Amino acid sequence: MSLIRVPKGTRDIWGEEIYLWHKVEEVVRSVAYSFQYEEIRTPIFESTELFARGVGEVTDIVQKEMYTFPDKGGRSLTLRPEGTAPIMRAYLEHGLNISNPRVKWFYMGPMFRYERPQAGRMRQFHQFGFEAIGFPQAACDAEIILIAWLVSKKLGLENLSLEINNLGCNKCRDEYVKTLQDFLKGEGDNLCANCKIRAEKNPLRVLDCKEETCQKVIHSPAFPLVQDFLCEECREHQDDLMEILRELDISFSINPYLVRGLDYYTRTAFEIKTGELGAQDAVAGGGRYDNLSSALGGPPVPGVGFAAGMERMILLLAKKYDPSSLKKQSLFYLAPLDVSGEKALLKLASFLGDRTIPFYLEFGDKRVKYHLKKAQKMGINTVIIAGKEEKERGELVWKDMVSGEQISMKEEELLAKLLEERKKC
């Protein structure tokens, strides 16, 4: 019988790598705490409709990447491919637009997209994200970018670059899209097959295309760029944002071709990229989504946020940190030599556990030699030995692995010494 393996594009996160995850989670929580963004945990699956309407019917995510399935009640459900639409759903569902219109939330957890796995891309992957809903101000865009930047900085990630763009609002985007569509029609066969369809259905996405023919079109002098079509308010919004970023000393560049693959973005769009991950170079991305609420059937509600790929951050982190250095070392190795030793040491375990002191308890009738070797391998400096000899004396043996010194003592004395030893660490 063949072994069952994990499904394609998924994996176990275990061993020393888990300490890198803890590190990322810790930094995210600390920044969230500092900026007072509250955690929200939405379901792993939602109505398919939520993503179809929120993310956009003609996006790649909705058209070919969703894990969609009917449940036994005939509902169409989808494993969440991203976190923003569910959060806006929660905001509206709880009536926050009425009772508490301004919220700052963060989230962390698995997302699912049906894609061919490659470096930095999995079918189940993890994101954390920050969302500020109810704030139309450019300063709030800046806070979101600042948070993304700060998390990266606190993790020690280097060689990151920030690109921003402005996709316009309902007022100016329509005119731009119309102009763009007219222009693309004139280009006809100069576009790749894919972009001919995009020109009709989702013309902004043409700017993303890397096909050589399309690149030529996109970079031709006559090609209309969003930046040249921004209305007064959008222009101002972007100027304000850029001014704040400069004052914050966050360096960025304007990428007029940055459009991003989700429909809900308006005005600010941004991406943080790295040069160290191969083809999947976006570490974090986000922007403003003032149309999302309406798309979900709610009233107009402004929002801005970002999501970051945890696997990608961890890949970068793994190059800087030795994960084992992040592990909290056990202080004590409890070495039973027989059943009586196990009993005696389990009492110690209860004592240590009550005080949240880390220890490792072995079981069985292993020899002293085995225990000392293992303690050494685990890098634990103090070994407590218990066997029949100790039981007869009513004592336990304390051994210091560095000095080699060992002392037999009564339980009460040993407990006191354990506490004293903990203080040193």
Q: Which residues bind RNA (CB under 7 A)?
A: 2, 5-6, 8-9, 59-61, 65, 82, 113, 115-122, 125, 127, 194, 205, 208-211, 260-262, 271, 278-285, 307-309, 311-312, 337, 366-370, 372-373, 376-377, 379, 385, 387-390, 397, 399-402, 404, 406
**Which is closer to RNA, CB of 143 or CB of 390?**
390
Residue among 274, 269, 13 at smallest CA distance from 122: 13
Residues 6+ apart with CB under 8 A from 102: 132, 133, 134, 135
HEC profile for 303-334?
A: EEEEEEEHHHHHHHHHCCCCHHHHCCCCCEEE
Amino acid identity for residue 288 in this structure: R
Assess contact for 130 and 144: CB atoms under 8 A: yes
Rounded to a whole number of angstroms, the minimum distance from the CB of residue 142 to RNA is: 19
Rounded to a whole number of angstroms, the minimum distance from the CB of residue 84 to RNA is: 8
**Most distant pair of Cα atoms in the chain: their distance:** 96
Assess contact for 332 and 382: CB atoms under 8 A: yes
Rounded to a whole number of angstroms, the minimum distance from the CB of residue 193 to RNA is: 11
**Which is closer to RNA, CB of 328 or CB of 377?**
377
**Which is closer to RNA, CB of 97 or CB of 375?**
375
**Which is closer to RNA, CB of 142 or CB of 308?**
308
Rounded to a whole number of angstroms, the minimum distance from the CB of residue 338 to RNA is: 8
The number of CA neighbours under 13 Å toward the Cβ of 398 is 16
Rounded to a whole number of angstroms, the minimum distance from the CB of residue 35 to RNA is: 20
Question: What's the CA gap between 383 and 196, in Å, rounded?
Answer: 71
**Which is closer to RNA, CB of 111 or CB of 301?**
111
Which H or E element spans position 395?
none
**Which is closer to RNA, CB of 138 or CB of 397?**
397
DSSP 156-204: T--SEEEEEEE---HHHHHHHHHHHHHHHHHHGGGS-HHHHHHHHH-GG
**Two tokens at 88?**
């806006």
Rounded to a whole number of angstroms, the minimum distance from the CB of residue 414 to RNA is: 14
Rounded to a whole number of angstroms, the minimum distance from the CB of residue 314 to RNA is: 10
Degrees to nearest 5, angle at CA 137 with 135 and 139: 110
Q: In degrees rounded to 5, what are phi and psi of residue 254? A: -90, 125
Rounded to a whole number of angstroms, the minimum distance from the CB of residue 119 to RNA is: 3
Q: Strand 253-254: give its sheet, edge to edge.
A: 38-39, 103-112, 124-133, 303-309, 282-288, 266-274, 160-166, 253-254
**Which is closer to RNA, CB of 97 or CB of 359?**
359
Beta-sheet pairing, 359-361 with 332-336: parallel
**Which is closer to RNA, CB of 133 or CB of 195?**
195
Rounded to a whole number of angstroms, the minimum distance from the CB of residue 232 to RNA is: 28
**Which is closer to RNA, CB of 343 or CB of 367?**
367
Count the residues in the chain: 425
Rounded to a whole number of angstroms, the minimum distance from the CB of residue 179 to RNA is: 21
**Which is closer to RNA, CB of 125 or CB of 176?**
125
